[in-house]
Amino acid sequence: MPELTTLASPLDLGGVRIRNRVFLAPMSGITDEPFRQRAHAHGAGLVVSEMVASGELARGRAGCDLRIRHSGLPVHMVQLAGREAVHMAEGARIAAGEGADIIDINMGCPAKKVTGGYAGSALMRDLDHALSLVEAVVGAVEVPVTVKMRLGWDESALNAPMLARRAEQAGVKMVTVHGRTRCQFYQGKADWRAIARVKQAVSIPVVANGDVGSPEEAATILDQSGADAVMIGRAHYGAPWIAGSIAAGTSAHDIPQTSQALADYVVGHYEDMLSLYGIESGLRQARKHLGWYLDRHAAGVSTEQRKQILTSFEPAKVIAGLRGAFYDGVTSPELRSAA
């Protein structure tokens, strides 16, 4: 099994230096600027923006600017989705103009609202069309272009190795593979060994993704896939420090160590989201994060207290509720042992 020191080593991507090989996955509605800044501060090697619809970005739709704006991190990576080459190219130019160091093309999202528009993982059903998008983006910008994909649309069409090979030939510098098909969504267990077929098909770096949440799982996915790096998504719910912890080789690295520290951390995240989105939108956007923090670290909080936190329209009441919850309801094993 690979040593975890492998994950701590840097990676060069078309001249862009990535500090380690444990990445935060792009997650729509989750990996916004406050979340990415936290994951980076905890040591994630690379953080990726939420998926941005290229057509909406090209048309200047409100809100897209928040998804692509530079947050001051050393490497700014923007993920684009779409099915029209002209929009993908224009979206890439806009993102690069805003300071994007890397452009990622989404060919892995399984959501019906995305695949229904023949974007995301639906592109794996038509590789010629998928490659036309790759070529358009590569031709539009000078920064490295990457692709995130699944194993295929379903078990009868496991064409990720072919897509990766053709993407490399078109100029893509790295591919990320989630070890499930689109039709699996997030059911069952990710097939880490299947990612090895993609690694064998290309000479560019391959990133393995799916069901990783601990240093042991990260080492195993590298062993089974032969990949060069690991990307982690849902394990970050309520724990923006996961990628950094795994890069450091420990599940307890750099987490808030006391109930008060955790309360301060969550309140800070909440306030940053209100600052980014404004009070009205920020209240709604933050609720899922607050729910995950409570689920993960304060499951002992009362039903009434939880309801107040997640439904209140008054930030002061939410903050007071959070402080009460994390002082009184902490059940996180890490925090109990640190107390």
List residues with catalytic annotation: 109
Distance from chain centroid for Cα 334: 24
Pairing of strands 145-150, 174-178: parallel
Q: How many CB atoms lie within 10 A of CB 270?
A: 23
Matching residue, tokens 């078109």: 170
Q: How many CB atoms lie within 10 A of CB 281?
A: 14
- Characterise 258 by phi-psi region: left (phi > 0), alpha (psi -120 to 50), beta (else): beta
- Rounded to whole angstroms, the maximal C-alpha distance in the chain is 57
In a 3-state reduction of DSSP, which class is residue 63?
coil
Q: Which amino acid is at 306?
A: R
How far apart (Å, rounded) are the C-alpha atoms in residues 286 and 282? Answer: 6
User: What H or E segment, with its residue span, contains residue 323?
Assistant: helix 315-328
Long-range contacts: 275-283, Cβ < 8 Å, 24+?
276/32, 276/33, 276/34, 276/66, 277/66, 279/315, 283/313, 283/315, 283/318
Matching residue, tokens 């929009």: 87
Phi, psi of 104 (to 5 degrees): -110, 140
User: What H or E segment, with its residue span, contains residue 22?
Assistant: strand 22-24
CA dihedral (245, 248, 250, 252) positive or negative:
negative
State the number of CA atoms in the 13 A half-sphere of 251 facing the CB: 13
| DSSP classification of residue 112 | H
